[in-house]
Structure formats: C-alpha cells, structure tokens
Structure 1
Amino acid sequence: MTTQARSRVLVVGINYAPENIGTGKYTSEMCSWLAGRGHAVRMITAPPYYPAWQIWHGHSGVWFRRQEIDGVEVIRCPLWVPAKPSGLKRLLHLGSFGVSSALALVASLGWRPTHVVAIAPTLVSAPAAWLVSRLVGARCQIHIQDFELDAALDMGIVQAGRFRLIAGACERWLLRRFDRVSTISPKMVERLGTKGVDVSKQMLLPNWADIDSIKPLDQPSPYRRELDIPDDAVVALYSGNMGLKQGLELLGEAALRLRDRPDIYFVFGGQGPGRDGLEAQCGHLPNVRFLGLQPKERLNEWLGLADIHLLPQRADVADLVMPSKLTGMLASGRPTLATALPDTGVALALNSCGRVVHPGDTAGFVDALRSLADDAGERCALGQIARQQAIATLARDDIMQRFEHSFTSVN
C-alpha cells in the first residue's frame, strides 16, 4: 500500500548518487525508496567526489546546485576536496561541507520538514540538522554508517591526546540530542550504548542487498573474456574503495605468495588513495588485473566474476564500520574470505558462509585462499548459504519498511 504524501523528509549527508559505492549508494537508495512511497524527500549533499577524491566531471565544488534524481530533490553544496587526503586536510574538507550544508539546511526551514535525517559520515552536518529539526518541530534521526571519529583516532588519521576526550564528549552530547540513532550492525548498536544513547532511541537499520538484481550467475561472467581469464580459473575479487581502512597490503602480499598458482587470478576493482601502493606491490604479476569502478548496470556480472570475494579489514576498525560491499557479496552467492577479529560484525556475518582469519595473519589468509581455490564443492556450498542469508535478512523492502514505520509512527 502506497504511503500518502504526508511526510517531508529532509536528509543531509556528504555522499549521494551518482556515487554508487559505500554510503552514497545506500543513502541514494533510501531516499529514492521513500520518494517512491509518496514522501516528499529533499537531499542536501556534496557534488560526487568519492572514492577518487576528485569532483566528478560535470559537477562543481564552488556553487550550490539543485537537481532531481529519481523523484528526490537534491541540493549540491560546495566543498573543498584535497587530492591527497591527510589528517588536517580531511578536517578542512569535512569542515567545508559542514558550513555549506548548514546554509542549505537553514534555507530549508521554509520547506517545513516533518522529519530530518543526518547521515554519518559525516558528523559535521549533524548539529545543523538537529537545530533545524528543533526550529520546525520535526522528528530528528541520525543514521551511522561508520563511527568516523573513533576510526580516525584509532587509525591515527587524527592525533589523539586531549582531542580524543573533547571530541568524544561532543559526540556523545550530540548523539543524545537526536530522537532516534540508527546504525547498520548489532555490534555497532552495542557501541551506541557506550556513547550514552538510550536503548529506547537505538535502532538497527542494516544495509540491504538488491537481491532481485544481484543473483548467482548460471554461466561465466563476460568479464572473464574481457580480462582474458580462463573459464576454469579461480577468480579472487576485491571490489570497492581502496582506502586506509581496508588493509590492502595484505592482498598484494597474497598475490605475491601465490604467484606460482597460474590457476588463481586476482582482480582488484576500485579507486582510492591505497590503489597506487597496491598496484606497485603486485601489478606486475601476470595473474593480477586492475580495473576502476564498474558501471552499476553491470554490477551483477561484476560480482559474479568472483569465485571468492576478498574482504580485508584492519583490526583497529573492527565494529567501527561494517563494510557496505558485504551485502552484494552475499547476494551474489559466492563465498567471502575476510579478515576480522572474533565476535565482530564481519566475523558473525560470515560465520556460516565464508572464511575469516585474524587481521594481519598473512599466512592464514593465503592458506585459506588456497584451500578455497582447491575445493569447488566447498565454494558452492558456502555460496548457497550466503545467498539464502541475503534473501532472509537483507531484502531492501523489508528493511526500509521497518525504517519508514519507525519514523512515521513516532509523534
């Protein structure tokens, strides 16, 4: 049953379509789904720049711009994008969006939103979102895709010291102001409690999989022919952002150690500040292929190229993020080899449909990859379980209907 056009939902987040990976993908699909249900949706965002850290052709980082995408009114706000992001440059980058998005949020007061949703990352736009909601009497929610502050501090992107105490206190104060705080994994929900968010405000809102568009292929992916990979070779695929949180050096080391296995091909697809290092590490090997981000319309063929999905992750970001790419991996009906600590969100998600080794255990990672490559039966069995898990737990309509009910039922 279609929802009547009674809600005006104002959303703010730094990433949005046409970015088709990470937070931008899920925020875009969320807004489009709500618009399709009859809600009026306005999205305040930046011009697309991720993951290459360069504003896309045809967009400007200097001017405000208004457009419509899939029934959603999109307001693009100017921001500064550093070519090589570092600690201070990242802060300036986020700060520029914080200022410009605040202006767009204040300008939306006359639109009289009934609900305001802030997407984190990035937290810099959350204070203005909360203030606008209070000025117009709207319900306010913050949805956390990753705990960016914790990750930046733990990974050393931003220096800690007194800053950790001050920033942590500000974050806790801010989160407690919102009517609802949602995040994408049970372990991340647990972390909300450590930040002082009342249980009554906590909500699990996992990222979903498009289980109708992404499904197991019944024949070899066309990418095999395009990349000159034999149909009987085993493809280990990494796809997505190539940034600091991924621990990509492990993939390069695995490719080097398995150079004597011409039947195993490594395909690395994506962009980001870590790509150059990975390409320098193993790009010279004959069984390694590098590509950029692939078109959304070829996503099923792209994910179906894998016999084994690769999901490296640094130990110091465990349960600060939940890799958004995992949903598509599961839906594709292929097993995943990941690095994760025991009892973390990734480890629990792959408990019955993949292999998990300790972050930094290169030998264990290579051994697990070699074992999976040698056992087609196990790969098939794990892939079938992965597909069934996606169908049972990651259907977009089921997740979004719970989200819609959560904010339309609160007065």
Structure 2
Amino acid sequence: MTSSVPVLLIGVNYAPEPVGIGPYTTGLAEALVEAGRPVTVIAGQPYYPQWRAYDGYGGGWRRSIERGVGVVRCPHYIPRNPGGLKRIVHLASYALTALPAALAAAWRARPGVVVVIAPALLSVPVGWVVARLFGAKLWVHVQDFEVDAAMATGLVDARGFVPKLALWVERVILRAADRVSTISPQMCARLVEKGVAPERVIEARNWANLAFARLDATGNDYRRDWNLGDRKVALYSGNIANKQGIEIIIEAARLLADRRDLVFVICGEGPNRARLAQLAEGLCNVQLHDLQPAEKVADLLALAAVHLLPQIPDAADLVLPSKLANMLGSGRPVVATAAAGTGLAVEVEGAGLVTPPGDAVAFADAVAHLLDHPEQAQAFGEEARVRARTRWGKDALLQRFVDAIGAIARRQSGPNDTELSYK
C-alpha cells in the first residue's frame, strides 16, 4: 500500500480506554499512521470497563486528530448493567450512529481498505456498505466470538431462536469479508468452522506492552499503600465480567485463608464487581481495588508473586485474553483455568500452571504450589518473559499486521499476507 491509500477503521472501543480491545485498535491505527497511511477511526464514546461515559466525551458526533489519527466519536447507548438485550442495543446503537459517520469519512478519504473490529459484528454491515460503495476491500478483525461468548456466559439462552439466527447472521457477515483475522490459531480454526475460506483467514494476535515489563519495577509503593507487608500477592487485574469466571479467585482465597503469607489482590472494573465484593465479605486475604493507571501498571504487575487468569469453561477458545501478554512480560508465573489443548492452555503451559475450569481446589493448590516452590516459579517466570518477547513482541506483530493490510489495499497478495495466513 502506498502512503496515499487511506484506511477506514470501524471499532467502538478506542483510546483512552485503558484495557480490553481499545488499546489494540489504537495501537493498530497509530502504527498505520507511522507507516505513512492516512487513517480515520470511527469510534464510540469511551466507556469501558466502567460501563459509563468518560467525562468530556458526551454529546453528538465529534471529530478530532489524536496522535495523527483522524477520530470520529459517535454517540451511542451505554447500559449501566450490560445484560444480553441491553448489550445488543448498545452495539446496535453504535452501528446506527457509525453508518453516517463512516459514509462521510469515506466520501472525504476514499479508503482502499475498511477494517472492522469485532466486537461488534453489528458494525460489519456498516463496513460492508462503505467498502462496496467506495470500491474498498473489507477486513474483519475478530477479537472475540461475541455470539458464542454470549451463549457460553448465559447472557442469552443457547436453545432459543435468537442465538441460532445470530449464528447464521454471523456466518453470512464473516463470509462477506475479503479477509478475516483473529488473535490465536484456535480462533482461526473456529473461523474456518464457521465457513470462512482458509485462504481468507489470518492470525494477527495482540501484543505485550513491554513498557509494563520494566526490570526496575518493584511494586513497593503498592505494598506500602495497601498495607501488604511482606505477604506474597496473587494478582488479577482487568475486566470483571461474566466470561472471566473470577468467582473462582474468591473460592481459592477461602480455601487458602489460613495462609498468612498470601493475599489475593483484584484490580478492575466491570458489571460483576459488586457481586464479587459481596462474595469476598469476611475474607481478610482479599483486597479489591480500582483499575490502576497505565503509568503504574509496571509496578502493579511486579507486585505479583503469581498472576491469576480464570476463564469459564466454554470461553477458552472464544477469546485469548489480552491481559495474558502483559502478565507474561512481567516475568511472573501464571495460574490459568483452561481445558487441555485450548489456546489459553497452550500459551500458559511452560510459563505457569493450568487447572481445569471451575475447579477451585485445583486452582488454590496451583497457587500454593508456586508459593512453596520458588525455584519452579522463577523458572516459569523467566520463560514467561522470554515468551512475551518472542511470541508477543509489539513491534513485530504490528508490522506484520500493517503489511498485511497494505497488501490487500493494493488489490494483490503480498509475501507478508502469506506469512500471516492460517494454515
């Protein structure tokens, strides 16, 4: 792609959202600009993970330039308690307001490729309309399989007509794209199962922010501020929602309540936080804190003796949690819940311990084992740091993604396109 071929990127989540999909969409847009590609992003109002609009971002459509990226903010519905129907309305409202914004941006820029970030799949028809009207290629990037995840987490009844219809619509939408990318080999295989031609499927994984992996980070300020003393910390930091299955952390804390050398620290926001706080009442070895600012994340990650990464049983191959990359980069072992052979299990094995989903006893035993075997924990941590650099390096992954988008925008295959393709 020459520097004159613009890219239109459609995705509800964008900076300044600190976690989830937003940082990766932002990183891709900024990398495209650094490579000389004009980029316009059709984003929503920032709301995640608190599920409320950030101060200063209300109102109607707003245009700005952010770090060289043209950003159009669209108004949309933000539910305080994002259940199944409310979440659908939330995403549908963004798709409706994104359509006129995307058409106007495309009229001005004449993009060569339209990239849609899913979630939300409801935005893909917006991208399809724009791509067909302006002769652009359509690229869909799947961060997680939202329909499958909604059924796995109980947000919608998998036996009803609506999810069956949604899965059919999803197949139609995905097969309409010129390229479909996703973030792990297992998720690539799932795309093929959903009917996407293998030659159109590309792996484009998320990356670790190695700025969070500073060797001089200690976490001592947190120890002082949170009165942790010299206790070992089992840490979870991120979104607190259904698919995380974070309740298992509280169960493990209850099982290990007699260990005075251990405290479970949970930092995050999300729809399930209030319920989690209720479950933790009376436990002296659990602390809940707000999501920490980006400039302090390196110290937060360094605070951990072990990182915790729970997932519910049916979500392990629907999404590869983005937080894993930074956990590995911190050089600390990970305890994850995942079935053998799933994408999450494959990424963690050798850099931590994997236990069966929902098995609180095994989860607690794994945490205790790493505390009681520091040499093994250190070896896992060293492998984790190496893995973050070799598998999750930001510069290399972003460059391959940018090159692949460039190849399709030129209306021809390129060597990097082949390198990324799912096999």
User: Structure 2 length as normaliser, TM-score?
Assistant: 0.93
Indicate if the aligned counterparts of 1:283 and 1:290 stay in contact, CA closer than 8 A: no
- The answer for the alignment partner of 1:196 in structure 2 is 195
Q: Which moved more, 1:246-255 or 1:236-245?
A: 246-255
Distance (Å, rounded) in 1 between the aligned partners of 2:286 and 2:53 = 29
Inter-CA distance 74–283: structure 2 relative to 1 (3 Å threshold): farther
Hey, what does 2:209 align to over in structure 1? 210
Q: What CA distance in whole angstroms lies between the structure 2 residues aligned with 1:168 and 1:291?
A: 37
2:244 alignment partner, SS class: coil
> What is aligned with 1:64?
61
Structure 1 residue 79 corresponds to structure 2 residue 72: no
Aligned to 1:169: 168
Pair 1:7 & 2:5 matched: yes
Q: How many residue pairs align between the two structures?
A: 407
Q: How do 1:169-188 and structure 2 match up within 5 A?
A: 169-188=168-187
User: Deviation per CA, 1:5-56, whole angstroms, max 9, x where unpaired?
Assistant: 3221110111110001010111111111111221111111111111111111
Structure 2: distance between partners of 1:200 and 1:4: 24
Identity among equivalent positions (%) equals 43
SS of match in other structure, 2:88:
helix
Higher mean C-alpha displacement, 371-380 vs 307-316: 371-380
Provide structure 1 residue ranges, at least 5 long, that are not aligned to the other structure. none
Distance in structure 2 (CA, Å) of the matches to 1:404 and 1:92:
32
2:351 maps to 353
Q: 1:217, 1:304 within 8 Å by CA — same for their partners in 2?
A: no
Does 1:286 pair with 2:284?
A: yes
The alignment yields a C-alpha RMSD, in angstroms, of 1.4
Q: Deviations over 1:321-357 (max 9, x none)?
A: 1111001001111100010011001100011101000
Alignment of 1:170-319 (within 5 A): 170-217=169-216, 219-230=218-229, 232-319=230-317
Please give the TM-score of this superposition, normalised by the length of structure 1.
0.96
Question: How do residues 150-169 of structure 1 correspond to structure 2 at under 5 angstroms?
Answer: 150-160=148-158, 161-169=160-168
Q: Which residue of 2 aligns with 1:96?
A: 93
| Paired residue type of 1:53 | W
Shift of 1:216: 4.0
- Within a 5 Å distance, the mapping from 1:307-386 to structure 2 comes to 307-386=305-384
Query: What are the equivalent positions in structure 2 for 1:114-153 lying under 5 Å apart?
Result: 114-153=112-151
Do the aligned residues in 2 keep the contact of 1:216 with 1:331 (CA within 8 Å)?
no
Note the residue ranges of structure 2 that are not aligned, 5 or more in a row: 412-423
- Superposition map of 1:26-45 within 5 A: 26-45=24-43
Higher relative contact order by CA 8 Å / sep ≥ 6: 1 or 2? Answer: 2
Q: State the shift of 1:78 in Å.
A: 0.6
Q: Deviations over 1:245-291 (max 9, x none)?
A: 11111111111121111110111100001111111111443332211
State the match for 1:105 in structure 2: 102
* Alpha-carbon shift at residue 212 of structure 1 (Å): 4.3
Which string of whole-angstrom CA distances, capped at 9 and with x for unpartnered residues, describes residues 131-158 of structure 1? Answer: 1111111121000000001111232212
Task: Name the CA shift for 1:301/1:341 in 2 (closer, same or farther; >3 Å).
Answer: same
Deviates more, 1:173-182 or 1:208-217: 208-217
SS of 1:381's equivalent in the other structure is: helix
Letter matched to residue 178 of structure 2: D
Cα 1:361–1:66 change in 2 (3 A) is same
Q: Distance in 2 between matches of 1:165 and 1:288?
A: 40
Q: Which has the larger displacement, 163-172 or 34-43?
A: 163-172
Which residue of structure 1 aligns with residue 22 of structure 2?
24
Describe the SS at the equivalent of 1:294: coil
Specify the code of the residue in structure 2 equivalent to 1:187. Q
